[in-house]
A and B are shown apart, each in its own frame.
Chain A
Amino acid sequence: DTAVSQTPKYLVTQMGNDKSIKCEQNLGHDTMYWYKQDSKKFLKIMFSYNNKELIINETVPNRFSPKSPDKAHLNLHINSLELGDSAVYFCASSQGGGVTDTQYFGPGTRLTVL
């Protein structure tokens, strides 16, 4: 069984559209994250949630709206997609949010905005 899963794996869409990415973890972790990895492979934190509560929002445009229906799921909805949103989006989870907690990453969603 995959520990952290994301759907879809690939997403190709037109500028201006709205899309969602789903993430689920079956590790029983309390904390979940969204990261964006750009074409230069830079891995940047976007959001972190602990027990369904938003903890970190790294100055992400409000076109990005995460939602955590329960602590095993963290979804990402993106409105009015722009060319610059093209990237690989990784979901991750950790037992807690402590600095020494190991992060487990999902397989990623490659988003291409045309």
Chain B
Amino acid sequence: GQQVMQIPQYQHVQEGEDFTTYCNSSTTLSNIQWYKQRPGGHPVFLIQLVKSGEVKKQKRLTFQFGEAKKNSSLHITATQTTDVGTYFCGSGGGSNYKLTFGKGTLLTVNP
């Protein structure tokens, strides 16, 4: 079935440093959704990418979808302590009623 690999599993940065998490698949993805889960919280939708090579920005966050639609990345510029949490990518992979998530990247930020 559809598998989405996410790396790294953990990332610890100093406040102000940049952060990137990657999501990879061996098959072409129909779309990528990114979610953020704060410690003790629930996943919250951030953004969706659908088109090949698509780039979207939300303030300090930049999301990219690869040209072949097999990978995606989330980049945070100048991290802040409020960025702490686990970032998940997910894809429908062509199957309705089912979102397959990567294992997530836990970001911790040292103030």
- Whether B92 contacts A45 by the Cβ 8 Å rule is no
State which of A18-26, A35-43, A64-72, A76-84 sits at the interface with chain B: A35-43
Q: Which of B86-111 contact A (CB under 8 A)?
A: 86, 88, 90-101, 103-104, 106
Dominant SS at the B interface?
A: loop
Given A42-B104, A99-B31, CB of A107 within 8 Å of CB of B93: no
* Alpha-carbon gap, A90 to B42, bound state (A): 8
Across-interface contacts of B90 in A (CB, < 8 A): 103
Check B33 for interface membership: any CB of A closer than 8 A. Answer: yes
Considering only CB atoms and an 8 Å cut-off, how many residues of chain B contact the other chain? 29
Residue A48 lies at the interface, judged by CB distance under 8 Å to chain B: yes
B66 within 8 A of A: no
